[in-house]
Amino acid sequence: MRFESKISSGEPGLAQEIADNREDSMVVSTRRTPAATVLVIDDDPSVIRLIEKSLEGSATVYGEFGAPESGELDLSELDLVFLDYKMPVRDGLDILLEIREERPDLPVVFLTGFGTPEFAEKAKKGGANAILAKPVGPGLIRKTAQVYLGAFSYDNRRFEVEPGSTLDEWPGMRPPRSFEGVDPKGNLVSGDLVRFGSEAAVVDFNSEHGLGSQLRDIRLAFGRQQVKSAHGVITRCEAISRNSFRVEILMPGAWGVSEGEDEEPGNNVAKPSASQVSRQVKQSDLPEQFRLATYELCEILKSVQQDCLLFENLRDGALDTVERLRADESFVQDTSKLYSPEFWKVMVRFEDAARALEALDEIRVAKEFARKVMFPMALSSPFLARVVEKPIGVPGDFGMLGQILGNPLEGSSLYDRIFNSWILSCGAADAYRYRVNLLYREIRQKAEQAKREGRTVRVLSMASGVAYEIQRYLEDPLEGCEIEFVMVDFSTDTLKEAERQYRSFGTLPEMVKLEMHQSSVIDLANRSRGFSGAASDGAYEPDGEFDLVYCAGLFDYLSDRLIVKVISYLHGLLREGGRLAVSNFTVKNPIQSWMTLVMDWELIYRSEAQFIELMGRGVGDATFEIEIDHGGVEVYGLSER
């Protein structure tokens, strides 16, 4: 086994399930072998699915989700590679060099959401045959394939997915966000929502009947959140495969936002209910400052979008890829410089007005109002859409945190990328990046100390997520230091994703050991204090004697009582001279109300004084120090034993 890890779980079969998924990471799309074989390397499942459907019946398409390990690619039978640029751990340029060493003749087409001109020039020098800017449609995919594979056409034969090869086995790869509507004949039609903007949506349909030119009673689902439009007009339809279509739907009417399921689509609801009338009246009674600030934020974003659409229409088709990337980069910089200061100035007014709300009912109505106004403009941001959708059921999931650390200029259009980058430049996102740096610093310091003392260092990450700080250590391990990492998380999806990401490093350094366990820190803390039945049989329990124990990002969801209990438990896992690090978001978060009202991301904020008091109760007589990030958004308690 190249990836040497130990995975345990209180849930029977988890270790075997992860191992099985590891062996089946290559996705095989068809049983029959056409003349051509295509490999798609991308960490976006929708891109893999699109290329698979676009070339159906013409080529056998394999999909590698994320960057494969160095030396693992089998290139002997391939005729064409579609390669993403930005992926976790390894980027496409690195993979391109590996391909060129083994197969100088193999055509490689780069896919990039927002590459720089420097990237495009490096890709060309590295031997890329072509560069396609995302979003890319099925027509361009087929046209590109024709260049390198020759002419092809669809046939009528059916293809079956190989057992065990579905992309949905991996966390974060469930069916995409959904779209529902009613066609002119009264048929309910549904599809996968590919892209979403304030005026239009792009949807993939698998349909045996025509959709017509219009749809009504439209619903777009982002998890439990639903965005609704009374009607839509189909402006463009392109075949992906024989029975699959990619459709652009213009939705010009009024928008509505709700949470959860309510009436069935297709039922004509001519009149709003009494509760809806009451809600509209209450929204009009919200403080004028709050309503004006919300509208102003939306209007700024609309101005940005209009400028982006005008620029895209002027430059489309007139530039080659390198020139286009250079023009896009310059436009994004100039547009952000023009609009970003005003956006954040209005955001301050929004925050001040929202924090002045007092009654719970007033806050609830403010949340409904803010989402109704902002969702059409905001949900095209990949980061905000994932926050609202909550694909693994918790706000701080690995996908969102990875986006904070990754390329902020993500999205399907220039507007999406600009707004996404603004949100990921705020103080709350900076606080998370600071957190990763702080935890890496603590790991490094303990590793250096243990090396001097000639012993193994043990590190426990509780409620670990995928632990990007550990990944950072693995990129540059301390030479001559034997280190054991133990990652504990309650979510099986998160553990699976951690396994996938860590495998990207290939074989772990010789002196590094990594274990992953499923367990709940709250259950463990309860059990340690004599609460019976709090932890399920077989759940992992740390054996203590750790040099470093840390838990960051969890206390924002816990009560004071639980925080004290967890701190006390974690402190007891330290060896003599060991160090504990815990944290909590503070009341100084500059987008606290935006996160609560618009992003549906509710945290328990504490002042520095409140956190110090909880820290003191948790560690007892032990000494501790406090550290705060540069923006004052997150406070850390650091205690020695």
Q: What is the DSSP letter of 156?
A: S
Do residues 521 and 625 share a domain?
yes
Do 457 and 446 touch, CB atoms closer than 8 A? Answer: yes
- Among the candidates 122, 146, 163, a domain finishes at 163
Contact call for residues 193 and 177 (beta carbons, < 8 A): yes
Residue for token pair 């925080």: 563
DSSP-derived letter for residue 67 is: P
Average pLDDT over residues 546-562: 95
Distance between CA atoms of residues 368 and 377, nearest Å: 15
CATH number of the CATH domain containing 95: 3.40.50.2300
**Same domain as 207, residue 95:** no
Q: What is the secondary structure of 276-294 as a DSSP string?
A: HHHHHHHHHTS-HHHHHHH
Contacts of residue 562, Cβ cutoff 8 Å, sequence gap at least 6: 522, 525
| Per-residue model confidence as pLDDT tens digits over 587-620 | 999 999 999 999 989 999 999 999 999 999 999 9
User: For the chain, how long is the longest CA-to-CA vector?
Assistant: 77
Q: Is residue 516 part of a domain?
A: yes
The pLDDT tens digits for 462-516 are: 999 999 999 999 989 999 999 999 999 988 888 888 887 887 777 788 899 999 9
Tokens 């029977």: give the residue: 12
Query: Mean pLDDT of all residues in the chain?
Result: 81
Rounded to 10 deg, the angle between the 288-315 and 414-423 helix axes is: 140
| pLDDT classification of 395: cutoffs 50, 70, 90 | low
Is residue 43 domain-shared with residue 184, that is, in the same domain? no
Output DSSP code: residue 454. T
Task: Locate 372 and state its tokens.
Answer: 């109704």
Same domain, 137 and 187: no
What are the Cα distances from residue 455, in Å, to 483, 508, 542, 550, 591?
A: 9, 19, 19, 20, 44
Do 174 and 131 sit in the same domain of this protein? Answer: no
- Cis peptide before 135, with omega less than 30 degrees from 0? yes
Compare 106 and 539 and report the one with higher pLDDT. 106
Give the separation between CA 70 and CA 149, rounded to whole angstroms. 26
Dist CA 415 CA 579 (whole Å): 45
End position of a domain, from candidates 268, 298, 329 = 268
Say whether 105 sits in a helix, a strand or coil: coil
**Predicted local confidence at residue 160, as pLDDT:** 27
* Same domain (yes/no): 489, 568: yes
- On whether both 256 and 158 belong to a single domain, the answer is no
Q: Which residue has the tokens 């403009």?
A: 377
> How much is the pLDDT for 576?
93
Output the pLDDT for position 404: 93
Give the relative orientation of helices 321-355 and 414-423 as an angle to the nearest 10 degrees. Answer: 50
**pLDDT for residue 260:** 62
How confident is the model over 183-240, as pLDDT tens digits? 888 888 888 888 887 778 888 887 655 677 889 899 888 888 888 888 889 888 888 7
Residue 321: which H helix or E strand, with range? helix 321-355
| pTM, to two decimals | 0.81
Q: Which of 471, 464, 473, 487 is nearest to 443 (CA)?
A: 473
- Are the C-beta atoms of 234 and 214 separated by less than 8 Å? yes
Q: Which of 112, 140, 163 delimits the end of a domain?
A: 163
Tens-digit pLDDT profile for residues 319-356: 677 788 888 889 999 999 999 999 999 999 999 999 99
Contact, 132 vs 113, CB < 8 A? no
Cβ 444 vs Cβ 478: under 8 Å: yes
Burial of residue 310 (CB within 10 Å: 0-12, 13-18, 19+) is: exposed
The CA-to-CA distance between both ends of the chain, in Å, stands at 38
Residues 268-327 pLDDT 10s: 333 444 344 444 436 778 999 999 999 999 999 999 999 998 998 887 666 677 788 888
Same domain, 97 and 184: no
Domain assignment of residue 191, yes or no: yes
User: Tokens 């159906």 — which residue?
Assistant: 56
DSSP-assigned beta bridge partners for residue 627: 636
CATH assignment of the domain containing 189: 2.40.10.220
Is 471 found in the same domain as 592?
A: yes
The type of residue at 94 is D
Give the list of residues 6+ apart from residue 49 with CB closer than 8 angstroms, or none: 167, 204
Q: Is residue 443 part of a domain?
A: yes
Q: Which of 126-130, 210-214, 563-567 bottoms out in mean pLDDT, i.e. has the lowest?
A: 210-214
Residue 600 lies in a domain: yes
Could you tell me the residue range of the domain that residue 561 belongs to?
428-640
pLDDT surpasses 90 at 625: yes
CATH code of residue 484: 3.40.50.150
86 lies in the same domain as 213: no
User: What domain count does the chain have?
Assistant: 3
One domain, residues 508 and 562: yes
Confirm whether 392 is domain-assigned: no
Q: What integer pLDDT is reported at residue 172 of this predicted model?
A: 43
Region 7-17: what's the mean pLDDT?
42
On the question of pLDDT at 536 being above 50, the answer is no
Sign of the CA dihedral with 102 first, then 107, 112, and 115 last: positive
